[in-house]
Amino acid sequence: MKTFTKVFIVSFFCFFIALYIGAASYLSTNDIDINENMGFGFYEKEDFTKVILNKLEAKPKEEKVFSSMAEAFKNSSRINFLILGMEDTRTDSLLLASLNRDTKKIDVISIPRDTYVHRKGYNAGDLRKINAVYYSHGEEGVIKTVSYLLDDVPIHHHILVDYEAVKELVDIVGGVEVDVPFDMNYSDPTAKPPLKIDIKKGHQVLDGKNALDFMRWRKNNNNRGGYIDGDIGRIKAQQQLLSSLADKASNNIIQIITKGFKYIESDMGLIDLLSYGRSAIGIGKDDIKFMTLPGKPDMRPINKQVYSYYVHNQNDITKMMEEMYNVKAQ
């Protein structure tokens, strides 16, 4: 197993969902003044709480129907966030979180890190994986690549998050319930920090450390066990943990905001994140849909070496995006 300095997509999204679901409703219910109680002092002459509460939309609206993707992208109320998880100079995880502000539902698309992308001038096999785009083209390059894969979907914001947020957030909510499919036993003293995973099979409540280990695990030291479908299996495990965490997060929103925000980097500030909360009041666990980029694993020879890729299926991607944006042919 590699040295993991991972920025898990799940960790940001837990924080992100917690902000969405909990912030505005907590403020509304408890009449909290953010400036006074949190000490951020964002607005000296304006009541920040009122800035949020004045924009609340408590009830879902009927979903709009569009005749084409171009029309949907232009007129939809959706806000799309690309969340990047880093391993050194590569993206270890990528996730598109799409908030439908009309229906109050969230769609989450996980993009496998080995997704094949053909880039002109990049002939080495490992450089044809989506996780290599960040090193040469930065955040903007990743944004353009993901948008291209998803039928040119607009990406409005991007976020990076530190994996330490996983431990912090899980401990704040008192642990998360997951169904562990295998005995997970792995140790790597050379990892930074040293890694020791020891989680037993079965339904259980994981604390912060074990929740992070649960997401990091791939296989045991003896090369036995592991997900049958590889990285896709790990994505499903992460989604299970995320769903459990999102379900509990709104009860601890103030702690999550104050302790969790330091773990993210974004083109948005805290006020921007909180302001989106007006559109998410009423969102629950059942309103979050998880998907994986349509495609399949494949082995391809590049320069006399064979590389493992995840090859996307563009036709199925188009169908997924049309369903997500409620595009129906006239």
Query: Does 258 map to a domain?
Result: yes
pLDDT at 10: 40
User: What does the pLDDT look like over 29-51, one tens digit per residue?
Assistant: 444 444 444 433 444 434 444 44
Instruction: Determine what percent of the chain is predicted with pLDDT higher than 90.
Output: 38
* Helix 231-249 / helix 208-216 crossing angle, nearest 10 deg: 150
Query: Domain limits at 222?
Result: 9-63+78-290
pLDDT tens, residue by residue, 203-253: 999 999 999 888 878 788 877 777 877 777 877 887 788 778 777 765 666
Q: Is the pLDDT of residue 72 over 90?
A: yes
Is residue 73 assigned to a domain?
no
321 part of a folded domain: no
| pLDDT recorded at residue 58 | 52
Provide the pLDDT confidence category of residue 125 given band limits of 50, 70 and 90: very high
Residue 209 lies in a domain: yes
**Residue linked to tokens 């997060």:** 249
Separation between Cα atoms, residue 278 and residue 158, nearest integer Å = 19
User: What span, in angstroms and rounded, lies between the C-alpha atoms of 310 and 107?
Assistant: 21
312 in any annotated domain: no
Residue 11 pLDDT > 70? no
Residue 91 — very low, low, confident or very high, per pLDDT cuts 50/70/90? confident
Q: Residue 296 falls within a domain, yes or no?
A: no
Other beta carbons less than 10 A from residue 14's beta carbon: 30
Annotate 143-191 with DSSP letters as a single string: HHHHHHHTTT----EEEEE-THHHHHHHHHTT-EEEEE-S-EEEEETTS
User: Which of 150, 207, 216, 144 shows the shortest CA–CA distance to 187?
Assistant: 216
Band of residue 57 on the pLDDT scale cut at 50, 70, 90 = very low
Confirm whether 155 is domain-assigned.
yes
- Total domains, the chain: 1
Does residue 27 have a pLDDT over 90? no
CATH at 85 = 3.40.630.190
Q: Is residue 212 part of a domain?
A: yes
Q: Give the model confidence (pLDDT) of 258-267 as tens digits.
A: 676 677 788 8
